[in-house]
């Protein structure tokens, strides 16, 4: 027992040292989706766009769609659509997922000029992917475009306490595992342009766990800590955003 308690205290010290030396203070970054001429929204599980003249156009009609996001150049739109296949459940049994909540998600992309849509990330794909980790048959969330719109980051359910963050190339449609995470935002301007703000679930060396918010580069390397779970987590996060005059990307 004493051994594990000593390891627990050592873990706390490591975390505090990491925070004190690596906390990122950014004064010229903006975390947001770039402004464009269209607004996308969801209504009754379908996707719509509204232009500057307030003209509304309906893009989907299946009633299985959510979380629309317009690309930085305003030419494309991505959204999540329920498939017809049951998901690989990360926790619980089928009784915990009523109706279509048990169905796996897909990511679709629409050309806003032509209105044509295609599946970007399927709910089932047998092609090989890096590290044998596949985002298929999962629940998806947190869609985030890279600053140039060439890549899309998204979360896929993986385990009870964490999800997997993937990045998919818009042109090739090839997805790869990026890192374990529970949320993701892209930084669009400033010194850390193209970096991400990622929430991860971490473990102490002895026992227990905690959540940490990291600044991460395009290669998935952690640059420094923004906030840690605990009484000051929200304060640390809001202080970070206020110092950057930042708004969220979703």
Write the pLDDT tens digit of every residue in 114-134: 999 999 998 775 444 445 455
Evaluate whether 168 touches 162 at the Cβ level (below 8 Å).
no
Which residue ranges make up each domain of the chain? 30-125+133-244
Is the distance from CB of 94 to CB of 171 less than 8 angstroms?
no
Mean pLDDT for 140-162 is: 88
Listed in sequence order, the residues at least 6 apart from 88 whose beta carbon sits closer than 8 Å to its beta carbon are 104, 137, 138, 157
Q: Using CB atoms within 10 A of its CB, is residue 29 exposed (0-12), middle (13-18) or buried (19+)? A: buried
d(CA 74, CA 219): 26
Q: Mean of the per-residue pLDDT values for the chain?
A: 76
- The two beta strands, 76-86 and 103-111, are antiparallel
Asked if pLDDT for residue 178 goes beyond 80, the answer is yes
For residues 85-99, b (16+ Cβ closer than 10 Å) or e, as one string? eebebeeeeeeeeee
Q: What pLDDT sits at residue 193?
A: 84
pLDDT: which is higher, 160 or 26 = 160
> CA–CA distance from 64 to each of 59, 81, 90, 163 (Å)?
12, 5, 21, 22
In this predicted model, what pLDDT tens digit does every residue of 184-235 receive, in sequence order? 999 887 778 888 989 888 777 777 777 888 889 999 999 888 877 655 666 6
**Given pLDDT bands bounded at 50, 70 and 90, which one contains residue 70?**
very high
CATH class of 30-125+133-244: mainly beta
* Per-residue pLDDT, 48: 94
Indicate the pLDDT class of residue 69, thresholds 50, 70 and 90: very high
């Amino acid at each position: 027992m004493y051994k594990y308690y000593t390891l627990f205290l050592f873990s706390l010290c490591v975390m505090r040292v990491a925070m004190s030396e690596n906390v990122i203070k950014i004064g010229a970054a903006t975390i947001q989706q770039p402004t464009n001429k269209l607004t996308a929204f969801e209504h009754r599980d379908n996707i719509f766009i509204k232009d500057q003249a307030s003209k509304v156009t309906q893009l989907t009609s299946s009633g299985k769609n959510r979380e629309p996001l317009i690309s930085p150049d305003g030419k494309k739109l991505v959204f999540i659509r329920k498939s017809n296949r049951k998901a690989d459940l990360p926790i619980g049994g089928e009784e915990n997922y009523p109706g279509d909540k048990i169905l796996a998600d897909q990511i679709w992309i629409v050309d806003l000029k032509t209105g044509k849509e295609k599946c970007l990330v399927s709910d089932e794909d047998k092609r090989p992917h890096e590290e044998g980790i596949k985002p298929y048959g999962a629940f998806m969330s947190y869609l985030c475009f890279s600053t140039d719109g060439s890549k899309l980051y998204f979360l896929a359910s993986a385990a009870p306490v964490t999800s997997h963050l993937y990045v998919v190339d818009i042109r090739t449609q090839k997805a790869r595992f990026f890192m374990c995470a529970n949320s993701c935002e892209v930084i669009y301007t400033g010194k850390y342009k193209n970096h991400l703000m990622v929430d991860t679930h971490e473990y102490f060396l002895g026992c227990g766990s905690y959540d940490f918010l990291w600044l991460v580069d395009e290669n998935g390397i952690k640059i420094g800590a923004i906030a840690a779970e605990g009484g000051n987590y929200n304060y640390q996060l809001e202080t970070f955003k206020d110092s950057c005059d930042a708004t969220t990307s979703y």
